[in-house]
Structure 1
Amino acid sequence: MGYVPRTGWQDTYDLDMSRRLPPGVTPLCVLVTGVLAGGLLHGGSAHAHADPSRPSAAERGPATLVQESATARLRADGSLSDVAGLSKSNVWAVGQEDVWEAWQNRGVITHWNGSAWTELGIRNDASGAGHLRSVAIASPREIWAVGDAHDGLPYVVRGDGSVFDRISVPEFGSGDWLGGVAAAPGRTVAVGARRGKPLIATVTAKGWTVTAGKTAGTLYGVTPAGKGDSWAVGDGDGEPLIMKVSGGTAKPVKIPDIPGGFLRDVTAEGAKKAVAVGGVYHDDGGIAPLVLSWNGRRWSRARLPDRPAELYGVTGDGKGHFWASGHDPGTPGQAFLLRGGAAGWKAVRGKAAGGSRTVRLLAVTHVGDLTMAVGHVVDARDRYTDVVERFQPGATRAAATGRTGRDTGPAAR
């Protein structure tokens, strides 16, 4: 399928899938209710093939945080790679099913309406999306997703909320790879790699502009940064890479010297505030979490809790508060996020469930008072189940997590 970058979290993700899973997956539904005190979420959890039960009214007050862990109910061996929301009842997520089948895995687009997940198909899907990696919302009627196709080309999808179509981009060639997409009205930017160099694809009313950077690197995440600009992040030559995208061009910017570092996602609040997340490889093979912050003048490294962790996704609320999703190898069975702002960054966790399992939250979005993170759970038999973590302060009701059914109209597969 051509060149696919294999650095950073992708190495870890591929290692998780290095052995074929047994057939069949039991969906995970876990409910954890707890209190956020000093950044630590305490609570209980249980496995069940059912919708979550009603949470108890624990510790009502401004510090209360209710966590619900459930599933969008993808088919066997499913994982959600990205999530984006306009409101608590309008959230889109993408990923893949049958992750072990390199030539038969299937890209997934699914929608949360506040009470249930509904999966939508792609109408003109001749070759088939293998893995949809990123989703972005320009408006309620303009949703974009990018990923891999089984024909060896990047996969670009555009939809209006009811139907989705694959978009043909003649400027792409075999071996080009896309890992992230950002959208605003009138302008969409996708990023990835072309023969080991950063790839930037921009579409406006004038059409597509596709260019590759001059230095080595791969871009995984991108976000609008005001006035038609965007930030794109990824890996350079053994260090993190941040590029400023303006028009159809992109240039690396100066960041702290961090050997062994990498970045996987970025979010911005206008031109003067942005946060990028990733990790730093240590000599012993461990990974330390990495957060870089932009203050309108320079990028600086944030101080984080002193323990290993991998960060994959980041989001903000537009008011200077941020959430980063990831994985803590010290407590692999727990949901793990970092919550940050002017006062620093603290961990948010769920209580570990029984049995051997690994939870990876690959992306996160924040709308209203809802923080939603998505990813997958790997059990002791290496079976994958998609996971959706919902955090809300003082929530009193657990929303249903079953899907209302698959579309049967022209958009269905």
Structure 2
Amino acid sequence: MRPWALGALIALGALTFPLLSSGRTAACGPTLSIVPSASPGQAYSALVSVDAVSPSLAWAGGNWRAAGTNSSDRALFERWDGSAWVAIKGRNVSSGDNYLSDVGIVSAKSVWAVGGAALAKKSKVLVEHWTPGGVTVVKSPSPTSSVLTGLEVISGRNMWAVGIRDLTGPGRPLIEHWNGKEWAVVAAPGPVGSTLRAIDALSASDIWAVGRVLKNGVSKTLIEHWNGKSWKVVPSPSRGTTPNHLTAVDAIASNNVWAVGYILGPNNSYATNLIEHWNGSSWQVVGSPSGGAFLNLLAGVASVSANDVWAVGISAAQPETPSGYKTMVLHWNGAAWTLVSSPSPSPPDGYNVLAGVAALHSGQVWAVGDYRAETKFDTLVLNRCG
């Protein structure tokens, strides 16, 4: 399994790179198709998140690595301008691994990303801001061994980020807020062993965050809600006696919120999809199909409308880690979740991952991840139009 693109699910100025493919704009149709994207790393390049605000403005975040055994992950942005994806180097605050785990667009001239950086014996929060002048690191609180995994942009003066503190221990939830001037830690409920993975907002006073909490040594779903004054844990179901994890959340209305993730089998022997829905009063598990007999793991969810919701991840038919991973896409039509065909460019025994998804009301959907090419790992971007 790849260090960040898949591992995160289961747990110097702006330099532009040319596209490593044809660079021609792919036709946008009703089925998911591959769009050429930049892969600057000689060893690997991966995208784990994407945000879109119009057909001509989307950003993705992730990491890349140069060739060589002593190379480390480097922060990576990619920008869609309506015709091509272009890579932009992020800033790196340590000689160890640096990565961007989520990205959010304020405007065409202001894009934020959060992630983490590896120091000698701990991890550090990483927050970056892109403007036409380049990428800068923004000062942010970093409690002992912490990373940020999810970002929600409400406005340029109101942003939230969630993640994990005490990463080298059992973990605790980390929530930070941007008020237009500085980032500050906000009190987060949840006992030791709680971590948050993703966040989404309906308004400044209606925000959801999801992750997992350890109960008797086993991970169970964790969902928290911000009401404008404080964060509170909202009861959520977990299936069976094995680990349950939530990895992504999408808020459509006050009575319509989706969360996705996965359930591990005994001894982590396999994984099945987990989808939960908020109806305004309670969270309930909703049935969903599987993409493979052995592994099914959802990593992202986004909605075009209440009857047009997309979830992405990975699937595998047999336990041949990390071979045989396929992209997996599910669609909600207002009545049921169904499996949707999606490209997996790596060979049949290869590695294909979708880690993030974004959707526009126009019907356009972006999904990002990575795949194993002949001698390295390259970024993977899929697109469809309604």
C-alpha contact 1:226 1:270 (8 A) present in aligned 2:
no
Q: Is the counterpart of residue 291 in structure 1 residue 314 in structure 2?
A: no
Which amino acid letter does the alignment assign opposite residue 223 of structure 1? Answer: D
Structure 1's 146 and 248: CA in aligned 2 closer, same or farther, altered over 3 A?
Answer: farther
For 2:252, the equivalent position in structure 1 comes to: 269
* Mapped partners of 2:134, 2:5: distance in 1: 34
Give the Cα separation in 2 of the matches to 1:131 and 1:268.
Answer: 26
Deviation by residue 1:160-210 (Cα, 9 ceiling, x = unmatched): 3553321112x3234111111111113111111112111111121474331
Alpha-carbon shift at residue 110 of structure 1 (Å): 1.4
Q: What is residue 148 of structure 2 aligned with on the other side?
A: 178
Q: How does 1:178-327 map to 2 (within 5 A)?
A: 178-185=148-155, 186-195=157-166, 196-205=171-180, 207-210=182-185, 211-215=187-191, 216-237=193-214, 238-247=219-228, 249-258=230-239, 259=241, 260-283=243-266, 285-306=269-290, 308-327=295-314
2:40: which partner in 1?
74
Summarize the Cα distance change of 1:69–1:159 in structure 2 as closer, same or farther, 3 Å threshold: closer
Query: Which residue does the alignment assign to 1:372?
Result: 366
* Residue ranges of structure 1 left out of the alignment (5+ in a row): 1-5, 15-26, 29-48, 394-413
Unpaired stretches in structure 2, ≥5 consecutive residues: 12-18, 319-323
Q: Is the 8 A contact 1:233 1:276 kept in 2?
A: yes
Normalized per residue, the structure richer in strand is 2
Distance in 2 separating the partners of 1:344 and 1:326: 18
Corresponding position of 2:115: 147
What is the CA–CA distance in structure 2 between the aligned matches of 1:300 and 1:279, rounded to whole Å? 15
**Aligned mates of 2:349, 2:26 — CA distance in 1:** 26
Aligned to 2:385: 392
> What amino acid is the match of 2:277?
S
Deviations 1:255-278 (A, max 9, x none): 113242101111111322211110
Q: Which amino acid aligns with 1:336?
A: M
The 2-side partners of 1:7 and 1:218 are apart by 17
Distance 1:229 1:139, change over 3 A: farther
Equivalent in the alignment of 1:341: 333
C-alpha distance in structure 2 between counterparts of 1:372 and 1:103, whole Å: 30
Q: Given the alignment of the two structures, is residue 86 of structure 1 paired with residue 44 of structure 2, yes or no?
A: no
Give the structure-1-normalised TM-score.
Answer: 0.75
* Alpha carbons 1:357, 1:380 under 8 Å: kept: no
- Residue in structure 2 matched with residue 23 of structure 1 by the alignment: none
Which has the bigger relative contact order, CA under 8 A and spacing at least 6?
A: 1
Distance 1:54-1:320 versus aligned 2 partners, 3 A rule = closer
Q: Distance in 1 between matches of 2:275 and 2:380?
A: 24
Distance 1:81 1:176 in 2: 19
Cα pair distance change 1:311/1:355, threshold 3 Å = closer
**Residues 4-58 of structure 1, C-alpha deviations (whole Å, 9 max, x = no match):** xx999537778xxxxxxxxxxxx99xxxxxxxxxxxxxxxxxxxx5457977x9x
Match of 2:136 among 160, 165, 169: 165
Give CA-to-partner distance per residue, 1:239-258, whole Å, 9 cap, x none. Answer: 11111134574221111132
In structure 2, do the counterparts of structure 1 residues 133 and 172 end up closer, same or farther at CA, with 3 Å as the change threshold? Answer: same
Residue 157 of structure 1: CA displacement?
Answer: 1.2
Instruction: Tell me, in whole angstroms, the C-alpha distance in 2 between the residues paired with 1:234 and 1:373.
Output: 21
Which ranges of 4 or more aligned residues in structure 1 deviate by more than 6 Å? 11-14, 52-55, 99-103
Q: What is the TM-score when the length of structure 2 is the normalising length?
A: 0.80
Residue of structure 2 aligned with 1:363, choices 331, 356, 362: 356
Question: Secondary structure at the residue paired with 1:357?
Answer: coil
How many residue pairs get aligned? The number is 347
Are 2:80 and 1:112 aligned? yes
